[in-house]
Amino acid sequence: MSLPRIAVDAMGGDEGVRVMIDGAAEARRRHDQFQFLLVGDEARIKAALQDHPNMRGASEILHCDDVVSGDELPTKALRRAKTTSMGLAVNAVKKGDAGAAVSGGNTGALMAMSKLALRTMPGIDRPALAALMPTLGDNDVIMLDLGANTEADARNLVQFAIMGAAYSKILTGRDMPRVRLLNIGTEENKGFDRLREAAEQLQEAPGLDMSFEGYVESDKINRGEVDVVVTDGFSGNIALKAIEGTARFVTDLLRNAFTSSLRSKIGFLVSRPATELLKHHLDPNNHNGAVFLGLNGVVVKSHGSASAGGVANAVTVAARLLEENLTQRISAGLAELQARDDAAFDNSAAK
């Protein structure tokens, strides 16, 4: 299948052009059908491409030397959407010059630019930021929202569930992804009214392509018992950072323990295969590529500190969502929800 090309904000990310180009090149070595629109300083991009002959015939450069800084306010960045590498990468999707955009830059600015340029899909009130996290199971878990919306009502949470399930079907291959709402307990009476209302709506919508299994507590997110965790952006962002912080704490604790004495160093050599597996499993680069779901186009946020391998994973996520028609899958779920609501209204009117 011939994929639309991917617009890469080459100036985004903590390391800038070199890592972004290295990552795009690594992605193309994995999938030689990828084509790119590289947005940024032309001289620096061409210099980076010297190390990657596999990219030269697969890339077009869109020159731009204006960059959104990491601490720039989204409202300020929006004013320069037509002059910055981030804004031009997103605009390429709007214009049809690219099928998806990937950036490692300022998350708030990227969301603001994406919403303004691409707008939300019909039937979606608010887009959501979804990311992958490792689990003890066979597949990663998708969690949303992770910061795009600090608050979400029951309607928003139901829409997030539909979007997350569509994304999960692409990544896991499950016909009926297991979906749960993040809550402080699993009992039906726990949590805010909006959570209980969303749970009720999801339970009453058996036609949706998901298996809604009620609530999940934050300590069970990574157990491998759920495919999609749905929450508001405030709670989701806190949970995500707590999980990431715990992962760093564990790896640092092990590192300190294994270097504390000669006996510990010997123990490290014996257990090195296991510790390397743990390191690989917890490495955020292996799960890189958060997605803005609910827009009329695919935009993927790479972690600012991602390595070339992490950027390659973000590019691969973008391509896979294009190939598997993510937006069409979400539209189908929304249509099913609307049909259920219409039927309920008709039944109510008949009475």
Give the Cα separation of 61 and 74 in Å (integer).
25
The pLDDT, as a whole number, for residue 163 is: 92
Residue in 209, 236, 220 with CA at minimum distance from that of residue 151? 236
**Per-chain mean pLDDT for the chain:** 84
Per-residue pLDDT reduced to its tens digit, 56-104: 889 999 999 889 988 889 889 899 989 999 999 999 999 999 999 999 9
Predicted confidence (pLDDT) at residue 351 exceeds the cutoff of 70: no
Q: What is the DSSP letter of 57?
A: T
Q: How far apart are CA 28 and CA 136, in angstroms?
A: 30
The tens digit of pLDDT for each residue in 311-331 reads 998 999 899 898 888 888 888
Domains in the chain, please, with CATH?
125-293 (3.40.718.10)
3-state secondary structure of 321: helix
Report which of residues 28 and 350 the model is more confident about.
Answer: 28
For 292, phi then psi, to 5°, come to -85, 100
β-strands 128-133, 290-293: how paired?
antiparallel
Dihedral in degrees, nearest 10, Cα atoms 148, 149, 152, 157: 0
Indicate the SS3 state at residue 300.
strand
Cα torsion 298, 222, 157, 189 to 10°: value is 180
Q: Name the residue among 128, 12, 145 with its Cα closest to residue 77.
A: 12
The pLDDT assigned to 180 comes to 95
Instruction: With cut-offs at 50, 70 and 90, classify the pLDDT of residue 156.
Output: very high
- State pLDDT tens for residues 291-303: 999 999 999 998 8
pLDDT value of residue 329: 85
Instruction: Quickly list H helices, 119-261.
Output: 154-172, 193-203, 233-258
pLDDT digits 0-9 by tens, 118-132: 999 988 999 999 988
Say whether pLDDT at 178 is over 90: yes
